[in-house]
């Protein structure tokens, strides 16, 4: 390996790149990582972490009004967006420091600059050529905004985390989990929130009962949720944005947030120059070991457009480190990957949706429950929790668990272990519930849906 400057050169110190670099170094590899923007990548800086902090902030409005039913008189309360953003930024800066420390402690050299690939073993950083036995592209993704007239007035989630003030009126375009989460955030913090999605129902790929339940709950809360609706142009007059919809109607807003998808950030990376094959949207095409068609170049995380989730990028990074430097070729598993949507209320899901199970020709039994959470018997809030199990009739195995309700992500995480162990419905039924919780419903659902 001595003919190269490094054994591994990672481009991108996000979720996947950091883990792959650290693990490779721990197996004895000489590793450098280039990062052009922020240590920790999307998740830490403009993704999961700041998003969840804003979600927490947005739930206090519910807590204050719910408190009355429990005898509390909360009195006057006021929200300070600037303070929330400042506190969030402080925490992000702390996490950037943690990432710096962790990489340094593992012996990984950090190069804070843009890196480009010149050939299968060479990268260029600030005009300097660096060689490596393996190059790992872990460059993540970037929001994509359709170029309609006036699209330059729109923001994406990247900017939403740094707004100077809380907008009074927000339009969110897009029906993926990021759009749904920001709708909950802005609405909960007091902004008049409209969410537009061009399809018939949002959260494509999630179980239909999640999609319909969440839509109903968001509408009950006052989010102006419109399906089969899209913006054809945006005009600006003073500080006001005027969105003309495809049906000709006009909505005014202070901010328009596009959450219409993220694309692999591979444009200025030099992958093609090195002979690496990309998909139509620029994703690095890799095999199960995250190896590209060029033997020495690997790619992980969002830039491969497999499952755009932090724990998946991390698992892919671990697998590459094991494959290349620990003599343990490893393929990450994409089976039963649980995920949550931090909407208001939350959604959680693992395994097959009912539609997927039927498409895969399983004969399924469906168990579903919908109930008012205990807490809301006193608050009077009209909110329902939905839980659902998809069960294979032939083997009795639970194929999927789906939930809309408070703490859905926390609850589904445990069930993901059960699904990965191949748990049957009979084993769910034999498990004693914890009373009184919402989670116990998952082990007490007895009647099948007709
Ligand atoms: C708003 C939002 C909310 C999200 N919420 C969740 C969530 O709740 N749960 C979840 O699991 N996932 C969530 N995600 C997705 C998650 O953030 C990503 O899946 C994850 O960060 C992908 O990791 P990665 O390593 O592939 O890329 P990233 O974390 O994006 O890291 C890539 C890094 O590469 C750097 N880079 C790019 N090009 C170069 C270059 N040429 N030279 C040097 N450096 C470069 C970038 O600056 C970046 O730091 C969210 C994403 C967004 C946008």
pLDDT at 1 over 80: no
Which whole number is the average pLDDT over 354-362? 98
Q: Do the Cβ atoms of 82 and 165 come closer than 8 Å?
A: yes
pLDDT at 181 over 90: yes
Which stretch of DSSP H or E encloses residue 50?
A: helix 48-67
What value does the mean pLDDT of the chain take? 97
How many angstroms does the Cα of residue 138 sit away from the middle of ligand 1? 9
pLDDT at 2 over 90: no
The residue to which tokens 């900017």 are assigned = 159
pLDDT of residue 450: 82
Does any ligand 1 atom lie closer than 6 A to the CB of residue 400? no
Q: Do the Cβ atoms of 197 and 170 come closer than 8 Å?
A: no
pLDDT at 56 over 50: yes
How many angstroms does the Cα of residue 17 sit away from the middle of ligand 1? 10
Is 280 buried (19+), middle (13-18) or exposed (0-12) by CB count in 10 A? exposed
For ligand 1, atom 37, which residue shows the shortest CA distance?
Answer: 139
Ligand 1 mutation pick, 9, 14, 32, max ligand atoms within 8 A of CB: 14
Query: Maximum CA pair distance of the chain?
Result: 73
Is 328 buried (19+), middle (13-18) or exposed (0-12) by CB count in 10 A? exposed
For the chain, percent of residues with pLDDT exceeding 70:
100
Which whole number is the average pLDDT over 409-420? 98
* pLDDT single digits (tens) 299-349: 999 999 999 999 999 999 999 999 999 999 999 999 999 999 999 999 999
pLDDT at 283 over 50: yes
What is the atom index within ligand 1 of the atom nearest the CA of 143? Answer: 53
For ligand 1, atom 52, which residue shows the shortest CA distance?
Answer: 47
CB atoms within 10 A of CB 52: 15
pLDDT at 284 over 50: yes
How many angstroms does the Cα of residue 18 sit away from the middle of ligand 1? 11
Is 14 buried (19+), middle (13-18) or exposed (0-12) by CB count in 10 A? buried
Tokens (6 digits) for 191: 């902004």
322 sits in the region (left: phi over 0; alpha: psi -120 to 50; else beta) called alpha
pLDDT at 225 over 70: yes
Which whole number is the average pLDDT over 91-101? 97
Task: Check residue 121 and report its DSSP letter.
Answer: T
Which whole number is the average pLDDT over 395-406? 98
Task: Please identify every residue annotated as catalytic.
Answer: 435
Q: How far is CA 375 from CA 221, 325, 378, 382, in A?
A: 17, 51, 6, 11
* pLDDT single digits (tens) 425-441: 999 999 999 999 999 99
How many angstroms does the Cα of residue 42 sit away from the middle of ligand 1? 3
């Amino acid at each position: 390996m001595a003919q190269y400057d490094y054994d591994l050169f990672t481009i991108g110190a996000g979720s996947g790149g950091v883990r792959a670099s650290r693990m490779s170094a721990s197996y004895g590899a000489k590793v450098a990582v280039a990062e052009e923007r922020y240590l920790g990548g999307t998740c830490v800086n403009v993704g999961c972490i700041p998003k969840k902090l804003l979600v927490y902030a947005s739930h206090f409005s519910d807590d204050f009004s719910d408190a009355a039913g429990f005898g509390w008189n909360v009195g006057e309360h006021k929200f300070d967006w600037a303070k929330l953003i400042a506190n969030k930024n402080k925490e992000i800066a702390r996490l950037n420091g943690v990432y710096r420390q962790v990489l340094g402690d593992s012996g990984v050299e950090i190069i804070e600059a843009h890196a480009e690939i010149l050939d299968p073993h060479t990268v260029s950083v600030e005009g300097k050529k660096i060689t490596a036995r393996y190059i790992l592209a872990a460059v993540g993704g970037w929001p994509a905004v359709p170029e309609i007239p006036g699209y330059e007035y729109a923001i994406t989630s990247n900017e939403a985390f740094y707004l100077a003030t809380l907008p009074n009126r927000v339009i969110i375009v897009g029906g993926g989990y990021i759009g749904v989460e920001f709708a909950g955030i802005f609405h909960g913090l007091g902004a008049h929130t409209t969410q537009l999605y061009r399809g018939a129902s949002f959260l494509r790929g999630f179980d239909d009962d999640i999609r319909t339940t969440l839509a109903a709950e968001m509408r009950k809360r006052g989010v102006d949720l419109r399906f089969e609706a899209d913006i054809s142009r945006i005009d600006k007059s003073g500080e006001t944005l005027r969105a003309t919809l495809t049906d000709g109607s006009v909505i005014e807003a202070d901010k328009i947030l596009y959450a219409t998808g993220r694309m692999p950030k591979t444009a200025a990376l030099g992958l093609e120059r090195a002979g690496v094959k990309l998909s139509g949207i620029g994703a690095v095409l890799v095999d199960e070991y995250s190896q590209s068609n060029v033997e020495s170049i690997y790619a992980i995380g969002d830039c491969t457009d497999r499952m755009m989730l932090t724990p998946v990028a991390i698992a892919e990074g671990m697998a590459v480190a094991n494959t290349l430097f620990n003599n343990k070729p490893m393929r990450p598993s994409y089976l039963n990957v649980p995920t949550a949507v931090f909407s208001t209320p939350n959604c959680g899901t693992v395994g097959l949706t009912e539609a997927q199970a039927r498409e895969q020709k399983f004969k399924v039994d469906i168990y579903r429950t919908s109930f008012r959470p205990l807490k809301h018997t006193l608050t009077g809030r009209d909110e329902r929790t939905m839980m659902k199990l998809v069960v294979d009739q032939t083997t009795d195995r639970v194929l999927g668990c789906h939930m809309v309700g408070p703490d859905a992500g926390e609850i589904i995480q445990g069930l993901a272990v059960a699904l990965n162990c191949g748990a049957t419905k009979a084993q769910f039924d034999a498990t004693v519930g914890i009373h009184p919780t919402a989670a116990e419903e998952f082990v007490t659902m007895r009647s099948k849906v007709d």
